[in-house]
Structure 1
Amino acid sequence: MTGRKKECYSLASIANAIGGTLVGEPEILISGLCSLQKASPDKLSFLSNRAYKHYLKTTSAGAVIVSNDDQLLFSGNKLISEDPYLAYALASKLFVDSPKFLSGIHSSANLHSSVSLPKDVFIGPNVVIEEDVVIGHRCQIGSGTTIGARTVIGDECSTSANVVIDKDVTLGDRVKIHSGAVIGADGFGYAFDGEKSIKIFQLGSVRIGDDVEIGAQTTIDRGALDDTVICDGVKIDNQVQIGHNCHIGKHTIICGCVGLAGSVTLGAYCVMGGGSGAVGHITLADRVQVSAMSLVSQSISEAGRYSAGTVQMKTRDWKRATMRFKELDSLAKRLKRLERD
């Protein structure tokens, strides 16, 4: 079976789309994006991390997006940008193989009679939609998705296969949810009566703003009392756990395998690095960046970069350092005694 032929773009048209300055042949045709190492003459590449600058000497790319500072490192066709990584992001939109927009309801879908949806919505195979759900224009609901009662979904939202959106959830416009994500499951709340754990029923829900993207297998729990809130423009990677009553500020980035305990507040434009976490009931100010695998154990009131944990080293050195770490308290006490003497 023959696939759909991908469109090519002249270098001049790409420069116009990304706002770059073209140096070289404007009519050269580009069929896609590729890394510096593997690019062919019909591909566009980019340099945003200078650790890869040595590949500029050997790349076969038809053109490269570079910064003004790095333009002299490459003698071929180039697009000069103040931010090559942002320019690469803009260029990627030209070459994405977007699925064709569909409309209609698959015969195997199970919709409650009270569901409200316009004619320009697509409902895929084996979708289940419960009572009083409202779905906006041009939404695409992927196969096997379940949408709980009284959920409201804005315009131009999409779910991939097997997404679960529980009852009373609200989604803004242009929300994209990837396969296996669960939105609105019960938060993890229990009270101990001395013998056993007593469940705290989760009475809130989840509110998601506009232009949010949620990765595969991510879970966002409903609030215990108030709602869990994900503000406009937030991007959440795969396999992230967001506990009940968290509040994620606008345009924050949460990388893969992050875990946020209940009632964490992240400000706007924060970044949580991969595998990082935060204990419950703390607040991070706007524009805080947390390094990968760091644990945030107290509130952060100033913007900036924060890290926790030990640096990589050979195992024998790490073992030695760990033993010395255990001795710090006694060393500090000995030092105080020496200072008094």
Structure 2
Amino acid sequence: MAENYLTASALVKQLGGELRGDDVILTRITSLQQAQEHDISFLSNPRLREDAVASRAGVLIVTEKSAAALVGRTLIITDDPYLYFARVARLFHPLQQARSGIHPSAIIAPSAQIADSCEIGANVVIGERCVIGEHTRVLAGTVIEEDCIIGNDCVIHANVTIYHGCQLGNRVELHSGCVIGADGFGFAWDKQKNEWFKIVQTGCVILGDDVDIGANTTIDRGAIENTIVEKDAKIDNQVMIGHNGKIGAHVAIVACTGIAGSTEVGDFSVIGGAAMIGGHLNIPPKTTIGAATAVSHSIKESGYYASIFPLQKHNDWVKNAAHIRHLHEMNQKIKALEHQLAELNGTSSNQQD
């Protein structure tokens, strides 16, 4: 038996829920298919109910409704098995704490203020007048330019770049390769010289508490005002957020999404993967944008929006695409037929029934 273990009763005491069955000793949390007698797993998708029945897991996290199909098993009953699973997983895999100290290869500007409890990894570069709070981890190869402020308990993974003047709240996590505060895409066309003139980007990026930014995501600094990501926003890998944008609190943005400059996304909204959102738009709170959806105008009412065709065979897609190209022509023909029908009936096509 592993030295580090939890019991089912201890989980319920700490996290809530109702324990039904034996008090099993648990050594790990894993999938329904891989779980063994000292493992805990969960069922949140009813489609996987047969997998749960066949699972050898010692304990299953389920809803009251799902429990009926699992008579005789040790269960933890909860309203939200997926959330409960996440909390159990954190108990088995606690956050790594900062190991205070500065690696000899790190380059720290003399005016930088770094809390003694921070962990500064190999080849880190920290610029002048930066302030880094307690228990923050800055891992290998990261560059933090001058005048940045970083809060407590942050984790900045390897090879992150934070440009000058940016601000991070507490418990922010930045994954490898992300770039915070690069110049926004701002250029004015010079007719006389027949070339682009770069607009100075004088704002910064401000990230609120508990923001999580995925690998290789880029958030541009503001042109004049700041680009802001509010508390508890979760942004996936390879997302691009343009200058002067505002991402509300508790927003979730899935991978490969692009959001052009000066667009505001309201609190609690969810943006599906590979969505493309134009600039100077407003998306109200609690709005969901489906994956690969193109948003070209502001949304006035919260709701679920999507604009991509579902998967179909290529030959069917070709036929449908051919019809789409002629939609305007078909519309004109329908209007003409409606006009002719109205004349035959002795009524105007503009009259309503």
Match of 1:47 among 43, 46, 55: 43
Taking the TM superposition and a 5 Å limit, the aligned residue runs for 1:224-239 are 224-239=223-238
Q: Could you tell me how far apart the structure 2 residues matched to 1:263 and 1:16 are?
A: 47
1:178 maps to which residue?
175
Deviation, 1:335, is 1.0
Partners of 2:98 and 2:136 within 8 A in 1: no
1:204 maps to which residue?
203
Task: Output one character per residue of 1:199-224: Cα deviation in whole Å (capped at 9) or x when no partner.
Answer: 11111000111111111111111000
1:190 maps to which residue?
187
Report SS of the residue matched to 1:73: coil
Aligned residues with identical type, % of pairs: 38
1:321 maps to which residue?
320
- The amino acid across from 1:285 in the alignment is P
Deviation, 1:57, is 2.3
1:124 maps to which residue?
121
Q: Could you tell me how far apart the structure 1 residues matched to 2:249 and 2:306 are?
A: 22
The number of aligned residues is 336
Q: Does 1:68 align with 2:57?
A: no
Partners of 1:47 and 1:84 within 8 A in 2: yes
2:286 maps to which residue?
287
2:11 maps to which residue?
14
TM-score for the superposition, normalised by structure 2:
0.93
- The amino acid across from 1:39 in the alignment is A
Q: Could you tell me how far apart the structure 2 residues matched to 1:147 and 1:223 are?
A: 18
Deviation, 1:170, is 0.7
Q: Could you tell me how far apart the structure 2 residues matched to 1:100 and 1:286 are?
A: 35
2:26 maps to which residue?
30
Deviation, 1:100, is 4.4
> What runs of 5+ residues in structure 1 fail to find an aligned partner?
none
Q: Could you tell me how far apart the structure 1 residues matched to 2:43 and 2:288 are?
A: 23
2:268 maps to which residue?
269
- The amino acid across from 1:146 in the alignment is V
- The amino acid across from 2:274 in the alignment is G
**Greater mean deviation of Cα atoms: 270-279 or 11-20:** 11-20
1:133 maps to which residue?
130
2:259 maps to which residue?
260
Q: Could you tell me how far apart the structure 1 residues matched to 2:70 and 2:320 are?
A: 44
1:298 maps to which residue?
297
Deviation, 1:16, is 2.6
> What runs of 5+ residues in structure 2 fail to find an aligned partner?
341-353
- The amino acid across from 2:40 in the alignment is L
Q: Could you tell me how far apart the structure 2 residues matched to 1:339 and 1:184 are?
A: 56
Radius of gyration: which is bigger? 2
Match of 1:153 among 150, 153, 168: 150
TM-score for the superposition, normalised by structure 1:
0.96
RMSD after superposition? 1.2
Q: Could you tell me how far apart the structure 1 residues matched to 2:10 and 2:301 are?
A: 42
Task: Output one character per residue of 1:221-261: Cα deviation in whole Å (capped at 9) or x when no partner.
Answer: 10001000010111111111111011000010111111111
